[in-house]
């Protein structure tokens, strides 16, 4: 992503800030796992959205005083010895090129910088990202900093930037849309590799390996989320991710997976018969889910309440399942459909923003993922696309996959040598 993207994002943020304010954002650092191991590091997504920096421990400060802004990035001091063990840390020139922030300081000067700002100027506002999911949510560096600042400088009014930045992230720029489109394309290519390699009796993790190969060969170092690859009854468990079962002959395989491309995520759900042929019953259920997916795509447009998508899904399923005598009353639907049909998509797979209480807007990217789960028949089917809300409707970003039962059977017959 070019630094101009992050410069624009910061400019948009500055327009919301009061004078006499400090803004402090933290990249975060990898959590300790065990012994001398840490979990992989992922930059705080709001921090990345504002700076383009993917290094741990980096801190960004913006001072607004007298109508002028001063931006500073604090990076780790170079350590030649540690560089031989784990690699070099980001240099000042690299930080400038990635972020567009000209003033680069060393991390060990951060505290003295804050003290000098407070001593030399009368600040009245402090803006920090105070994301917290629950009371027990582990305190992040930003939360700890805000708590200390409240004690040391009790005259400051502390503001939570989390909902502000999250609202910005709802509407995607042209660059973000193209990165998401590419993430979807890589994901779709991975799915086709699974279809071309599947056969009855394979373990779920073997099938998963074919997907993983495509992503790694295309330069994706991370996944959008842990892959769900569930066969038979396992497909009726919404977030099954053990991927240790066996895809028996006659069973369906449900995929819910995604590539992460330059920090933007694809998210596709896909269902196919491991032997290349749907049974009549599987076709009936699959076609209901596919028609729901297609109707959602048609109705998604600016001005539509986000919750209307799921309201339609519930109504559609109720009518269709009563037609085939799977349910007799609307109340029974929840046994077979028990999740929402959509979520926002972007830097996070379940992307941020108050979209559940909003109307759809141009530039928003959402998922379209109706599913039906019938445990007593070991049938789990979910069909998911990523769609962009345009000025007058929607555009499917995840194209190029066989979607109808005939198309899936035809693709597997033509491309899967294991089934010939």
| pLDDT value of residue 137 | 74
Choose, from 343, 359, 395, 409, the residue flagged as catalytic.
Answer: 343
Q: DSSP of 110-159, one letter per residue?
A: HHHHHHHHHHHS---EEEE----SSTTSPPPHHHHHHHHHHHH-TTPEEE
Supply 368's token pair: 């379209």
| pLDDT value of residue 318 | 98
Choose, from 121, 239, 334, 356, the residue flagged as catalytic.
Answer: 239
Choose, from 36, 119, 357, 376, the residue flagged as catalytic.
Answer: 36
Kindly report the CA angle at 411 between 336 and 215, in degrees rounded to 5? Answer: 80
Rounded to 5 degrees, what are φ and ψ at 40?
-55, 145
Catalytic residue at 32?
no
Q: Which residues of 307-327 are buried (b: 16+ CB within 10 A; e: fewer)?
A: eebbebbeebbbebbeeeebb
Distance of CA 32 to the CA centre of its chain: 23
Catalytic residue at 129?
no
Supply 315's token pair: 């109504």
Total-model pTM: 0.96
| pLDDT value of residue 246 | 98
Choose, from 125, 291, 339, 403, the residue flagged as catalytic.
Answer: 339
Kindly report the CA angle at 212 between 210 and 217, in degrees rounded to 5? Answer: 100
Q: What is the CA radius of gyration of the chain?
A: 24
Choose, from 55, 176, 208, 256, the residue flagged as catalytic.
Answer: 256
| pLDDT value of residue 32 | 86
CA distances from 319 to 280, 313, 365, 369, 372 (A): 20, 10, 28, 18, 14
Domains of the chain: 3-168 (3.40.350.10), 171-419 (3.90.230.10)
| pLDDT value of residue 95 | 98
| pLDDT value of residue 323 | 98
Catalytic residue at 384?
yes
Task: Evaluate whether 401 touches 192 at the Cβ level (below 8 Å).
Answer: yes
Catalytic residue at 373?
yes
Choose, from 10, 193, 261, 382, the residue flagged as catalytic.
Answer: 382
Catalytic residue at 350?
yes
Choose, from 129, 267, 364, 385, the residue flagged as catalytic.
Answer: 267
Classify burial at 80, counting beta carbons within 10 Å of its beta carbon; exposed 0-12, middle 13-18, buried 19 or more: exposed
Give the Cα separation of 103 and 417 in Å (integer).
58
Residue-level pLDDT, tens digit, the chain, 420 residues: 999 999 999 999 999 999 999 999 999 998 889 988 889 999 999 999 999 999 999 999 999 999 999 999 999 999 888 889 888 999 999 999 999 999 999 999 999 999 999 999 999 999 999 997 777 777 789 999 999 999 999 999 999 999 999 999 999 999 999 999 999 999 999 999 999 999 999 999 999 999 999 999 999 999 999 999 999 999 999 999 999 999 999 999 999 999 999 999 999 999 999 999 999 999 999 999 999 999 999 999 999 999 999 999 999 999 999 999 999 999 999 999 999 999 999 999 999 987 677 899 999 999 999 999 999 999 999 999 999 999 999 999 999 999 999 999 999 999 999 998
Choose, from 55, 176, 351, 384, the residue flagged as catalytic.
Answer: 384
| pLDDT value of residue 154 | 96
């Amino acid at each position: 992503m070019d630094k101009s993207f992050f410069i624009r994002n910061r400019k948009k943020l500055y327009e919301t800030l009061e004078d006499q304010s400090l803004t402090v954002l933290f990249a975060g650092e990898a959590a300790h796992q065990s012994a001398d191991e840490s979990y992989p590091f992922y930059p705080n997504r709001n921090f990345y959205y504002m700076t383009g920096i993917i290094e741990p421990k980096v801190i960004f400060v913006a001072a607004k005083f007298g109508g002028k802004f001063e931006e500073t990035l604090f990076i780790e001091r170079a350590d030649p010895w540690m560089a031989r063990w784990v690699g070099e840390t980001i240099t000042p020139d690299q930080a400038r090129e990635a972020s567009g922030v000209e003033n680069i300081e060393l991390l060990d000067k951060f505290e003295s910088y804050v003290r000098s700002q407070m001593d030399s100027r009368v600040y009245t506002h402090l803006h920090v990202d105070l994301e917290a999911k629950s009371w027990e949510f582990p305190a992040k560096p930003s939360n700890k900093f805000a708590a200390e600042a409240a004690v040391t400088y009790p005259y400051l009014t502390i503001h939570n930037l989390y909902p502000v930045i999250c609202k910005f992230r709802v509407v995607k720029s042209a660059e973000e849309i193209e990165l998401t489109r590419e993430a979807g394309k890589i994901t779709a290519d991975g799915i086709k590799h699974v279809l071309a390699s599947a056969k009855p009796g394979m373990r779920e993790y073997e099938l998963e390996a074919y997907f993983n190969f495509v992503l790694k060969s295309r330069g994706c170092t991370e996944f959008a989320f842990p892959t769900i690859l569930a066969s038979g009854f396992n497909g009726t468990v919404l977030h099954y991710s053990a991927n240790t079962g066996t895809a028996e002959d006659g069973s369906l395989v449900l995929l819910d997976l995604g590539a992460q491309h330059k920090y933007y995520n694809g998210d596709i759900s896909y269902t196919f018969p491991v032997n290349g042929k749907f049974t009549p019953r599987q076709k009936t259920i699959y076609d209901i889910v596919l028609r729901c997916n297609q109707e959602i795509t048609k109705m998604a447009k600016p001005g539509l309440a986000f919750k209307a998508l799921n309201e339609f899904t519930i109504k559609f399923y109720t009518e269709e399942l009563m037609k085939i005598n799977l349910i007799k009353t609307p109340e029974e639907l929840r046994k077979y459909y028990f999740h929402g049909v959509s979520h926002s998509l972007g830097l996070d797979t379940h992307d941020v923003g108050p979209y559940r209480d909003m109307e759809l807007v141009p530039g928003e990217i959402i998922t379209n993922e109706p599913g039906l789960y019938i445990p007593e028949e070991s049938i789990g089917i979910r069909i998911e696309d990523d769609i962009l809300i345009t000025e007058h409707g929607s555009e499917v970003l995840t194209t190029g996959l066989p979607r109808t039962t005939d198309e899936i059977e035809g693709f597997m017959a033509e491309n899967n040598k294991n089934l010939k």
